[in-house]
Structure 1
Amino acid sequence: MDKQPFHNTKNDDFSKLQSLKTLPKRPLFSSKYCLPTSIVAILVIVLLTYNSFSIFYFNLDFPMENDKEIKKKLPCIDVNKQLHTLKHTLFSKTTHHISYKKTTKQNLHIKKLAKLIHKSPSFEPTNKTFAKRVRLFFNENSCQFRVFMTWISSIKSFQEREKFTIESLFKFHPQACLLIVSNSMGSSKGTQVLEPFLKLKFKVMAISPDFKFIFKNTMADDWYNQLEKGHINPGLISIGQNLSNLLRLALLYKYGGVYMDTDFIVVNKLDGLKNVIGAQTIDPITKNWARLNNALMIFDKKHPLLFKFIDEFALTFNGNKWGHNGPYLVSRVVSRVISNNNRTMEDASEFTILPPVAFYVVDWSRIGNLFKMPMDENHSKWINHKLNHIKEESYVVHLWNRQSRKIQVEKGSIISHLMKRSCIFCNSSREIS
């Protein structure tokens, strides 16, 4: 049987490779698509360039502090409005039944946004903490009479009525030290609002709150931590309003002094009062107080009643009932204290409940009467009688902002007379409505 000829595959492969050397040299892409090498190279470079830009491109949501050109092109950003929106978003996440995983992602986004907002030029950079700034403010001014206010709205909302509250305060207490705790007022624009008082050497400072520090060593600390984590439902009532209710209690507990809302007219000196809270209404039958109010309170540092107020806030917080964490809260606690100790309105050794005429001379439903001009002789007599009563018996007049905000001050009205009595910038024409 004839042998099959031996087939050398190595020699065949080598001969094929040798034959390929005689072919013209072309790149793989050009062989397939019949494109010149230079065009392929250009395409590769363009693709690499585009890829680089897509990877390293940054979109800045806020203009740089010194970049004037960008500021001209971009719309003006209201940082305080962003902060208000940020805080509202942070504290309303549980209201909308967002899942925990989604909430966590939102919290990360909110924290990043907060950092960008606080780096904005609208906030003056400072190395001093809230605690240090407040301590320096009180110590350097030798403050014997400390007054606190809070402000949860925008700077635009801080208008003549709020300014006149400050004006009337300094009219009767020129040596007072006023601390306004507010994110919006604690900015450079807030300082501009206070400039007329600073020029006259009145001691006033606005500062953004440090809730962690202010609430430390109280039940408010744990409550606030739970709120941040989304474990507490903030409810339908503005969380800013409820934080203001808690903040005033904690500030008085930590520092002692006077807390007052920004819708008062001071008509007499307050510095003779000690550990007092005002009754808003009196029971017509028993003649005892029916409801207290937390719009103005005066207490010593670490007063036990303030501690009970804070505990009550943390333990019974309800964000869906108006007044539950404010006027109704202080009423509940004081009622229990009096009941447990068998104390009456007159037998209050640790604190005093002042009658409505002291702080709330008229109820919210009748506040409009104080803004009206005399209609006839009888009305004129009533105005004079009421005005004298206020001058002799009241320390402040509460304007009940929610009800009287849009009411104009008429010439010859009780409010117009009180403004003349309590003004500092008396030559300037303005309205507080």
Structure 2
Amino acid sequence: METSCRRNLTSRDLCAIESAARAHPDYQINVLFAAPISAELLGQFSLRQKFENVRFARIHIDEYSKNTPVQELVWSRGLYKSHWRVEHASDLLRYLTLYKFGGIYLDLDVVVAKRLDTLAANWAARESEFYVGSSAIAFSLDSVGRSIAEAAISDLQNNFRHDLWSHNGPGVITRVLKMRCNTTDITLMNSKICQGFEVYGPELFYPINWQNGRKYFEPGVLENKDAYIYHVWSHMTRNRRPDSNSPYSQLARTFCPFTYTLYGDQFGL
């Protein structure tokens, strides 16, 4: 989901899309834009031709939210008051999309290393001991997925905050699961106590935490080779160029080789 309104995609974005498409050739990979797509992007993105399961879609947030619980929040221009409009728009749209359609949501600054349909039907992962992350979430269309999606969209409707960074993203799924799992201890959450919703450990989705995100870009060996997803924390690392011997470059050569080769020395900027 691209909500920055820059109208194009970076090499990091394309790597996320390519890695997801490679890992799931039988799935449709939908890239949603909250602003018009540039002609330059449509012309350059040969990845869309290489991977037939990649689709672009332009969404108009007013129309997209119509007849949903967050329609009033969107139509009242509540997002315009936000201190972090881009990030909070992404927060709202990821939960709204899962509420409308179900499926798997992924941030655009990840590398997908394994098929995700081998996991539980409904899941998220701990980002830390305080938060369940919202960078990768799966809500299926079964009763568990629908109940979680409805609880998440209701939380956004009732508790949206324009002045807190993580309140509308990881804060939503964390609050919902604390209620569902009947515990405030994030580390205890699992499918048994969360009534069928699985909460995986950070090692499978956030093997390097955001405070140490620079390690993806510095020379070194990737210590955890068993993760499903590697999140490179672009908000914290956007100005870093990955060393050719860095974990991020190693991941890119393996899981998004087309993008890595296409961008060469400019990959990751």
User: Aligned partners of 1:373, 1:263: CA distance in 2, in Å?
Assistant: 19
Q: Deviation string for 1:287-313 (max 9, x for gaps)?
A: xxx211111111113621111111111
2:161 is paired with a residue of what secondary structure?
Answer: coil
Determine whether 1:298 maps to 2:138. yes
2:125 corresponding residue in structure 1: 278
More helix by percentage:
1
Contact conserved, 1:165 with 1:262, CA < 8 A, in 2?
Answer: yes
Determine whether 1:332 maps to 2:175. yes
User: Aligned partners of 1:188, 1:336: CA distance in 2, in Å?
Assistant: 46
Q: Which amino acid aligns with 2:83?
A: I
1:254 corresponding residue in structure 2: 100
The residue correspondences of 1:63-102 to structure 2 (distance < 5 A) are none
2:111 is paired with a residue of what secondary structure?
Answer: strand
User: Aligned partners of 1:432, 1:366: CA distance in 2, in Å?
Assistant: 17
Bigger radius of gyration among the two: 1
TM-score of the two chains, using structure 2 as the length reference = 0.86
1:213 offset after TM fit, Å?
Answer: 4.7
- Name the CA shift for 1:319/1:309 in 2 (closer, same or farther; >3 Å): same
Q: Deviation string for 1:84-138 (max 9, x for gaps)?
A: xxxxxxxxxxxxxxxxxxxxxxxxxxxxxxxxxxxxxxxxxxxxxxxxxxxxxxx
1:319 corresponding residue in structure 2: 162
Q: Structure 1 unaligned runs (5+)?
A: 1-148, 283-289, 375-382
User: Aligned partners of 1:418, 1:209: CA distance in 2, in Å?
Assistant: 31
- Name the CA shift for 1:249/1:417 in 2 (closer, same or farther; >3 Å): same
Determine whether 1:181 maps to 2:32. yes
Q: Which amino acid aligns with 2:48?
A: L
Q: Deviation string for 1:344-403 (max 9, x for gaps)?
A: 5232333111110121111111011222114xxxxxxxx26x0xx3x22x1110010011
Counterpart of 2:246 (choices 372, 391, 413) is: 413
1:193 offset after TM fit, Å?
Answer: 4.1
User: Aligned partners of 2:179, 2:44: CA distance in 1, in Å?
Assistant: 42
TM-score of the two chains, using structure 1 as the length reference = 0.55
- Name the CA shift for 1:272/1:217 in 2 (closer, same or farther; >3 Å): farther
Contact conserved, 2:109 with 2:232, CA < 8 A, in 1?
Answer: yes
Counterpart of 1:198 (choices 28, 45, 48) is: 48
Contact conserved, 1:191 with 1:206, CA < 8 A, in 2?
Answer: no
Deviates most, 174-183 or 343-352: 343-352
Counterpart of 1:345 (choices 189, 197, 208) is: 189
User: Aligned partners of 1:303, 1:397: CA distance in 2, in Å?
Assistant: 27
Q: Structure 2 unaligned runs (5+)?
A: none
1:420 is paired with a residue of what secondary structure?
Answer: helix
- Name the CA shift for 1:432/1:220 in 2 (closer, same or farther; >3 Å): same
1:167 corresponding residue in structure 2: 18
2:230 is paired with a residue of what secondary structure?
Answer: strand
User: Aligned partners of 2:126, 2:99: CA distance in 1, in Å?
Assistant: 20
**Amino-acid identity (%):** 22
**Number of positions where the alignment pairs a residue of Structure 1 with one of Structure 2:** 259
User: Aligned partners of 2:37, 2:98: CA distance in 1, in Å?
Assistant: 19
1:207 is paired with a residue of what secondary structure?
Answer: strand
Q: Which amino acid aligns with 1:372?
A: E
Contact conserved, 1:184 with 1:190, CA < 8 A, in 2?
Answer: no
Contact conserved, 2:125 with 2:200, CA < 8 A, in 1?
Answer: yes
Contact conserved, 2:34 with 2:58, CA < 8 A, in 1?
Answer: yes
User: Aligned partners of 2:253, 2:229: CA distance in 1, in Å?
Assistant: 14
Counterpart of 2:73 (choices 208, 223, 227) is: 223
- Name the CA shift for 1:326/1:306 in 2 (closer, same or farther; >3 Å): same
1:359 corresponding residue in structure 2: 205
Contact conserved, 1:187 with 1:207, CA < 8 A, in 2?
Answer: no
User: Aligned partners of 1:162, 1:174: CA distance in 2, in Å?
Assistant: 18
1:4 corresponding residue in structure 2: none
If asked which structure has higher relative contact order (CA below 8 Å, sep 6+), I would say 2
User: Aligned partners of 1:405, 1:224: CA distance in 2, in Å?
Assistant: 28
1:201 offset after TM fit, Å?
Answer: 4.2
User: Aligned partners of 2:175, 2:60: CA distance in 1, in Å?
Assistant: 28
1:214 corresponding residue in structure 2: 64
Q: Which amino acid aligns with 1:238?
A: W
2:126 is paired with a residue of what secondary structure?
Answer: strand
